[in-house]
Every structure is written in structure tokens, then in C-alpha cells.
Structure 1
Amino acid sequence: MKNEILKLSLGVDISKETLAVCLCRLTARLAKEFEDPFEVSNNLPGFKKLVKWLLKNASSPEDIFIVMESTGIYHEALVYHLYMEGFPVSVMQSGRVKRYAQSLDQRSKTDALDSRMLAMLGCERELALWSPPDPILRQLKGLSRERSFLLKEKQIERNRLHALEHSVYKSKRELKRYGQRLKLIEKQLIEIEKEMEILVKNDPQMHQRIKHLESIPGISFKSAATVVGETLGFTGFTNAKQLTSYAGFDVVLKESGAYKGKTRISKKGNKHIRSALYMPAMSAIQWNPTLRKFYERVQPTKVKPMIALVAVERKLLVLMYSLWKNKIDYDPEHEQKKTARTEVLAAQDRSNLALTTS
């Protein structure tokens, strides 16, 4: 009984070239026993070597729970391979992993220690299992990322062209090449946006749900498709708080004794979502009466108007999440109806209270 193993958890710390792994056993005495960490290459031969080693420590893949941290794209090949081999896998957001690590008495930071920490996390917590995203959503995310990078490149080339045009020393051939590069970027942006539209239209259900998001004043197809692609259809989020944290809209406040720090958003999240919502927020405070009132109420209390605009971006993201989950169009009178229902319920409570006290 003393040596009975309650749970096996493997922590994987991922880098571009290598995988640092550590196996943890949770015994019936609730003690944690660790194998010495080791490394394998972050490629198919390394994956096969890891799977072979894991099957020596368990009778079946289902007996080993694997925990890793989301690291851009470098974890994707591994997580797909392990999923196809039948291992239960959890991919943690970096913010949650960092908060767990801070709770431990661990001052050093190495790949081996990080893999040990992830293995411990898998033994202690019940984590959500990873499953492959919808291929269409994965493709939509890839297109939206490509579009985002091209928009950045377009702005860089414009700035360089503007600087060259105002320079004393300039070459007509150099100006021509800048113009050609900008035309190429514009052409590719149009191609990508058409691909996004075709991809969405070929899936009637997704097309209808994105239409729900477009019903919000200020939200265009490109903005809606970018947010849906970056969140993979809002999968993995059980509430709006998780979503805003993923996008980096979660509020951070630092105070200690007499020191009172400024309240700000963490920005430790998906920058593509924040970028995609900037222009819709600018449009919303002009054309959406509800969000305009919200902006006007928040703005005077802030030092910078930008803070109020970020609050509108956050509000838009939560609104999009709600419409997507409920499969409904935007109702501009929702707040008024909600207030009216609250007033009716309050009046009923006052009436019932009067009857019981009389």
C-alpha cells in the first residue's frame, strides 16, 4: 500500500531545439517521487524516444498525465504527437504556470527545474485536457497572423519611404523599389483577406456565428475573424476573466506600504487580439451609444484617454465572447432591458417586504 502510485505526471519544458522532461509519481502517502530530469531533441526522433521511455514506466499511455507550457509554436508538434499516441496532455498558459511557480520555494530557474515544477503541477491539480482545434479555426488563425505581420511590414515600409522622400539624398530607383514592395504587400493582404472570407463562408455554422459578432457596431469581418482565429473559437475559456487574461487585458495594481502604483493592464497575453480591437474600439465610441456612454463615464476618471479606450477594447472582447457562446446577435438595448428587469425585481422585493411587515 505504501508504494502504490496514485498518479504519474510528466513535466515538459520546451525550447526550440530540446525538451527537458521530468517524471513525478504521487504515492499513496501523498509523497512526490521524481525521476532525474533528462533532455531529448524537439523533433520526431526525440518524440519517439520519449514515448518509448514513457511506456517503460506505465502499462498504457492513459496512465501518464503530461503537462507543458504553451510556447508559441514550438510545443505544437510534440502535443499533436503525444495526443495521437493516446497520452492525456494539458497545455498551460504561461501566466498560470508563472503564478504556480511563484508559490514554490524555488529561486533558481533552469530547464530541468521547470520540467520538475510542471510535473509537480500535474500531480497536484486537475487540469483541462488538450484536444486538437478545428482545422478551419487553425487555418483561420494562420491567415490572421500572416495578415498581422504584413500590416506591420506595410507600416515599416511606409515610414522608410516617407523618410527617404524627405531626405536630401534620394534615388529614384530606391523610391521605385519601395513603391514596388508596398504594392506587393497590398496585393498579398487582399489575397489573404479573400482567403479568410472563403474559408469562413465554406463553413455555414462558423459564418453565422461570425455574423453575430459583426452585428456589434464597429466590428468588421476582419476584426471578428482575427479574434475568433486567435482564440480558436474561444475554446478553452470557461469565463470572461480567463479570456481577458489571455488577451493581456487583466488589470495589474502594485501597492506596498505608502507606495501606490498605477493601475494598468498586464499586456502579458495575445498582442494580436489587442491590436485587432484598437480600431473597432475607436469606431465603437463614435457609433455605439452604449459603449460611447461607457467611455464617457470612464474617461474623466483616468489620467490618459487611452486608458478608457483600452477599457472599451476589453468590453468589446467580452461582448464578442458572449455573443459567440450564446449564438445571438448584438442587442443595442440589452443594458436598458437589464436595468428595467432589475428595477422590476427591486420593486417586487419592496412590495413583498411591505406585505410581510404589515
Structure 2
Amino acid sequence: MEHHILKVALGVDVSKDNLAVCLCRLTVNLTKEFEDPFEVSNDLPGFKKLIRWLDKQVASRENLWIVMESTGIYHEAFVYYLYEAGFNVSVMQSGRVKRYAQSLDQRSKTDALDSRMLAMLGCERALPLWTPPDPILRELKGLSRERSFLLKEKQIEKNRLHASEHSVYSNKRELRRYKQRLKLIARQLEEIEKEMMELINASSYLKGRIKHLESIPGISFVSAATVVGETLGFTGFTNAKQLTSYAGFDVVLKESGAYKGKTRISKKGNKNIRRALYMPAMTAVRCNPTLKKFYERVKPTKAKPMIALVAVERKLLVLMYSLWKNEINYDPEYEQKKTARTEVLAAQDRSNLALTSS
């Protein structure tokens, strides 16, 4: 039976307590053969039960591809277990899975159908192989998420304190507790930023690359560390377009017949990156000559100044990605040098054309 099978894929729909799985075989006739879907528990006994079943179904683990959707933290224990067991694993972003699902003639949505859809995706597409992220980057991401949470809590407490101070029925003990909570949050934010600094300084590789990002006017250490942590060192991105889509900076436009929609960013991405780049963009339009010119050029063409600021945020993210990949510092005269090179090449082309014509 194995000789007429081109590819075998296991689709796994992950939830907090269970794993819904479905096995798909792609034959040489390009037809798909499915095993009946079933569920196992999302814990170690369930993992072992599934592996025993898989070893009976496939001749070699190397010929099997396991596909699942990224689900926050619930898939993590399973994907690490599979990686250590030697399986090929792909963890797909929800946006890509959703677009694939929309292309199918499938109106219902259940865990079993989702696992079947993921198995089909594994058979039909060449998917990227998942590898564990650097432990330091993983810890850095956790710290940046904790810091983001505390910043939101700080704003909430400040708003409550302001409301209480201006209330007719203001209570001194209540005000004292609000102020105490704000002091605690401020102290914990300092601790987190110190831990982020210590974590990066412990790695000469990360320390050097973060310095490249800090060379951009407007980018602070915390902003650079947050973006690096959220992207796990820009791993998994092969071009800037993928990165901007991941951050939700990709531009979308809806038009149909006489209807002409407005262009906007999708916001279907990592909101922590967008939040981390807001203040750097505000600083960049004042302190970075290149981005200041870009902002002033774009701003009059947009209905709201905020749209131009978002364009600066996107520009900053792409610039950080470029400096990280090339391991170089920011060059404020890069655009001028690029223009000069273009003019020199254009002059050479005109000269060559004139010689050819004569």
C-alpha cells in the first residue's frame, strides 16, 4: 500500500483539554485517503497514545508531516514532545489557515473538520518546518508580554485614581491604595526592564544586534528588545512583507463595482509590536531626518495624521529587520547615497547609449 502514497499528513486541532486528529494520505492519483478522526487528551498520556497509533499507521516517522495551528500556549507542550520524538512538525499562523479553509467547500466548523482541513493542508502544500526558538528569545518574549500587561494595568489604575480624585465622594483610604498599586506597578516595570537588559547582555550575539537596532534615532533599548522578543529574533521571516503582515501593518483595500473602499492596515497581527513602535515613531518624526521627511511627504495625502504615523511605524519595523539581518548600524545618509548611486548609473547608461548610437 505504501508504494502508491506520495505524502502522509496528520492534522491536529488543538484545544485546552483535547487534540482532535485526522490522518490523510495523498496517493499518486492525487486523491486523498482519510482515516476516521478521533480525539486524545492534551497531556502526556494522550501524546503517548497518539504516537503508538501513528507508529502503526506509517512506516517511518520521516515520511509523516504533522500540521497544527498556533493556539497561544495550548499547543506548546505537544509540539515540543513531537520535535523531541523526531517528527516533522509545522505550526501555522491562524491567518494562513483561515485563508486556506475559506478556499474549501466547507460550511460547517467542528474540531474533527478542522483537523481534516489541516491534514489536507499538510498534503497539498510545502510547509515550513518548526524548530524550537532560542530559550533566551523565548524568555525575552515572556518579559515583553509581562511588561505590556503591566503598562495597561498602570493606565487603568491612573484612570481610576483620576476619577476618584475628582469625585464628590472621594475616599482618602481608596486614594492611598490606588497610589500604592501604581508604585508597585512602577517598581515591577523597572524590575522587568532590568531583567531584559541582563538577559540580552548575557548573550554577546544578542547584545551586538540590539545595538544595531538602537542606532536608529527614536528606537530605545526597550522598544528594540520588545520587537526582537515578539518576533523571536525575526525567525521564520524570509522577507519584509511577511514581517509587516505578521505585525498587522499590511495594507488592505476593498473594492467592488462602484464601491471604492479606503485603504487601511489589516491589524490582523501582533498588536504588541504595533504598540511598541508607537512612541518610537512619534520620536522619529521629530529626530530622524529621513523619516521626518517621509512623514511630512505622506501626511498631506492622508485624511488623518495618524495614518502617516502608522506608515512611519511600518517603515521603522522594516528598517529594524534589515539592520538585524545584515548586522549593520543605521546609516542616516543611506537614502542620499542610494540616490547618488542611482544617478551615477543613469548617467553611465546615457553615456553608453550615446556611444552606441554614434
Aligned to 1:42: 42
What are the superposed Cα offsets for residues 85-144 of structure 1, whole Å, 9 maximum, x if unpaired? Answer: 110001111111112112222222222111111111111111110000010000000001
CA distance in 2, matches of 1:96, 1:344: 43
CA distance in 2, matches of 1:310, 1:252: 14
Matches within 5 A, 1:165-180: 165-180=165-180
For 1:67, the aligned partner's letter is: V
CA distance in 2, matches of 1:194, 1:103: 47
After TM superposition, give the deviation of residue 60 of structure 1 in Å.
Answer: 2.7
Aligned to 1:118: 118
After TM superposition, give the deviation of residue 334 of structure 1 in Å.
Answer: 0.5
Aligned to 2:299: 299
Matches within 5 A, 1:218-229: 218-229=218-229
Cα contact 1:7–1:63 (8 A) shared by 2: yes
Gaps of 5+ in 1: none
CA distance in 2, matches of 1:41, 1:306: 47
Aligned to 1:27: 27
Aligned to 2:317: 317
Matches within 5 A, 1:74-223: 74-223=74-223
Cα contact 1:248–1:270 (8 A) shared by 2: yes
Determine whether 1:339 maps to 2:339.
Answer: yes
Instruction: Name the stretch that deviates more: 105-114 or 20-29.
Output: 105-114
Cα contact 1:2–1:27 (8 A) shared by 2: no
What are the superposed Cα offsets for residues 149-190 of structure 1, whole Å, 9 maximum, x if unpaired? Answer: 001100011101111111111211111111111111111111
Query: Helix, strand or coil: the match of 2:229?
Result: helix
CA distance in 2, matches of 1:79, 1:65: 12
After TM superposition, give the deviation of residue 2 of structure 1 in Å.
Answer: 9.3
Instruction: Name the stretch that deviates more: 202-211 or 166-175.
Output: 166-175
Instruction: Name the stretch that deviates more: 332-341 or 105-114.
Output: 105-114
For 1:179, the aligned partner's letter is: K
For 1:324, the aligned partner's letter is: W
CA distance in 1, matches of 2:276, 2:210: 15
CA distance in 2, matches of 1:252, 1:50: 41
After TM superposition, give the deviation of residue 6 of structure 1 in Å.
Answer: 1.3
For 1:292, the aligned partner's letter is: K
Instruction: Name the stretch that deviates more: 23-32 or 213-222.
Output: 23-32
After TM superposition, give the deviation of residue 243 of structure 1 in Å.
Answer: 0.3
Query: Helix, strand or coil: the match of 1:39?
Result: strand
After TM superposition, give the deviation of residue 148 of structure 1 in Å.
Answer: 0.5
CA distance in 2, matches of 1:341, 1:110: 57
Gaps of 5+ in 2: none
Query: Helix, strand or coil: the match of 1:269?
Result: coil
Determine whether 1:232 maps to 2:238.
Answer: no
CA distance in 2, matches of 1:75, 1:337: 47
CA distance in 2, matches of 1:314, 1:14: 32
Determine whether 1:246 maps to 2:246.
Answer: yes
CA distance in 1, matches of 2:46, 2:300: 57
Query: Helix, strand or coil: the match of 1:89?
Result: strand
Cα contact 1:141–1:232 (8 A) shared by 2: yes
After TM superposition, give the deviation of residue 40 of structure 1 in Å.
Answer: 1.5
For 1:338, the aligned partner's letter is: K
Cα contact 1:218–1:280 (8 A) shared by 2: yes
CA distance in 2, matches of 1:250, 1:74: 27
Cα contact 1:2–1:28 (8 A) shared by 2: no
Matches within 5 A, 1:245-284: 245-284=245-284
CA distance in 2, matches of 1:335, 1:2: 57
TM-score (normalised: structure 2):
0.98
Aligned to 1:289: 289
What are the superposed Cα offsets for residues 194-235 of structure 1, whole Å, 9 maximum, x if unpaired? Answer: 000000000011100000000000000000000000000000
Q: Percent identity?
A: 82
Aligned to 1:69: 69
For 1:177, the aligned partner's letter is: R
CA distance in 2, matches of 1:2, 1:218: 58
Cα contact 1:2–1:29 (8 A) shared by 2: no
CA distance in 2, matches of 1:56, 1:303: 62
Query: Helix, strand or coil: the match of 1:127?
Result: coil
TM-score (normalised: structure 1):
0.98
CA distance in 1, matches of 2:357, 2:72: 62
What are the superposed Cα offsets for residues 19-78 of structure 1, whole Å, 9 maximum, x if unpaired? Answer: 111110011211111111111122222211111111111123222101111111111111
RMSD: 1.1
For 1:149, the aligned partner's letter is: F
CA distance in 2, matches of 1:170, 1:18: 49
After TM superposition, give the deviation of residue 3 of structure 1 in Å.
Answer: 6.2
